[in-house]
Amino acid sequence: MKTRFETFAGLSVAIITPFKNGQVDYNTLQEQVEFQVVAGSTAIVPVGTTGESPTLSFEEHERVLHAVVEAARGKIKVIAGSGANSTQEALHLTQFAKKVGADAALVVTPYYNKPTQEGIFQHYKLLAESVDIPICIYNIPGRCARNIEPETIIQLAQFPNIGMVKESTGSMDQTSSILANTDLTVLSGDDSLTLPLMSLGAKGVVSVVGNIIPKDIIALCNAFAEGKIEQAQEWHYKTYALCRNMLSLSTNPIPIKAAMKMLERDTGELRLPMTPLSETEEQKLRKTLENYGIL
Q: Which residue numbers are catalytic? A: 138, 166
Alpha-carbon dihedral sign for residues 259, 15, 273, 28: positive
Beta-carbon count within 10 A of 38 CB: 12
Instruction: Say what angle helices 229-247 and 279-292 make with each other, to 10 degrees.
Output: 160
- Exposure string (b/e) for 224-259, b if CB count within 10 Å is 16 or more? beeeeeeebeebbeebeebbebbbebbebbbbbbbb
On the CB side of 266, CA atoms within 13 Å amount to 28
Sequence-distant (6+) residues with CB within 8 A of 57 are: none
Sequence-distant (6+) residues with CB within 8 A of 201 are: 1, 3, 175, 179, 186
CA 184, distance to chain mean position in Å, is: 17
DSSP state, 273? T
